[in-house]
Amino acid sequence: MDSCLIIAGEKSGEEHALSFFSELRRQAPNTKFFGVGGEDLAQEGVEILYHLKEFSSMGFSEVFGKIPFYFRALKRIESEVLARNTKVAILIDFQGFNLRLAQRLKKLGVKVLYYVAPQAWAWKPHRSKILAENVHTLFTILPFEQEWFRLRGVKQVRSIPHPLMHTYKNLLNDLPQKPYGSWTDKVKILLLPGSRKFEIFSLLPVFIETIKKLKQTYRLEVHLVKVSHIDQSFYDCFSEHIDFWYESEDLTKAMREAHFALAASGTVTLSTGLFELPTVVCYKASLLNEFIFNQFIQYKGPISLTNIIHGQNIFPEFVQDQVDVAHIKNAISFWLDHEKAYNKTKSLLKETKVCLAGESFSVPDYMAQVINE
């Protein structure tokens, strides 16, 4: 039986894999898949060498502490590839690890299918050279990436629909209409303070203070999406200011209900863009992460994905010291008080799903063809 390596070192990577894996396995029935993943990929028949929980890390400081582990994992995976005579590998996102692995695999004659291109255009542009030299096919998820990587020597680049397009499927076709002034009763504001402990602890208090200020002028109904790994006692500190609570799996429902959102920078800001929900985006990092970012990363463009794919700041963005009550309040008030500005934002957001459609081809068909060659 042939073998194929698959690396999904984060939960998001496993979710990407699940969008194509069942069909891929059907089309490559004589292939044994092994590598890094979680319970979902294990249930799909992947032999798990490392659980993704062992791989996951957040922020520069945590990554540094796990460097010895990552190098041991590289060595073991390389040994398994040799022992199994593996000819194809599917590496999903997780660029710090997977780019190093791609270089090792190329030397072993393995064809590397790199799914979800690293954001080399934002930082470390030299990584495009690594991809050009070591990857059989690169799959990109943002509209401008295909041409960007081709111009830098990556020969085979396929543009695929963004994973969120798979997640939401037909949900985007019947979005509730929210014309200007549809909040005549109450303005429904959705708080999305993030999923990481540091960002939730730093952003939620600011969001709540902003809500208190806005309530001096507007009638508000406040909704909040919480995450299960944050102790409920922390959320309870703000319960008197929250009208409706949602679990993270109810994000779609929460976005459909709201008129506006306050959100931590991350994939969720692309979700709000797809759901045509005007959003104020905030980002705060630890002092160490901020120092490293400022010293080593040259990217100076927008931080939220909706703004990045549109090439303009549709969503107001506030970073580090700019994250304060006055800035956030003024951004929401501007939409509430200016019909023309609100309508322009809504009109631009309608194009978000068009930007993320990708090429019309089957990912599992393509991967199966490479595996079966």
CATH architecture group of domain 2-160+358-372: 3-Layer(aba) Sandwich (3.40)
Average pLDDT over residues 338-366: 95
Q: Say how far apart CA 5 and CA 164 lie, in whole Å.
A: 24
| Band (64; pLDDT cuts 50, 70, 90) | low
* Element (DSSP H or E) covering residue 130: helix 127-134
Cite the beta strand spans of 193-278 per DSSP E. Answer: 220-226, 244-247, 260-264
Average pLDDT over residues 175-199: 92
Say what the pLDDT of residue 288 is.
Answer: 45
The mean pLDDT value of the chain amounts to: 91
Taking only the tens place, the pLDDT of each residue in 126-173 is 889 999 999 999 999 999 999 999 999 999 999 999 989 988 988 999
Say what the pLDDT of residue 349 is.
Answer: 97
- Angle CA 56–58–168, to nearest 5: 75
Give the residue among 252, 284, 253 at the shortest CA–CA distance from 268. Answer: 252
Could you tell me if 220 and 211 are in contact, meaning their C-beta atoms sit under 8 angstroms apart?
yes
Angle (deg, nearest 10), helices 325-337 and 339-349 = 90
The two tokens of residue 278 are 């005007």
Q: What are phi and psi of 366, to 5 degrees?
A: -65, -45
Annotated domain spans of the chain: 2-160+358-372, 172-355
Average pLDDT over residues 223-248: 93
Say what the pLDDT of residue 302 is.
Answer: 78
- The yes-or-no answer to whether 2-160+358-372 and 172-355 have a common fold is yes
Superfamily for the 172-355 domain: Glycogen Phosphorylase B; (3.40.50.2000)
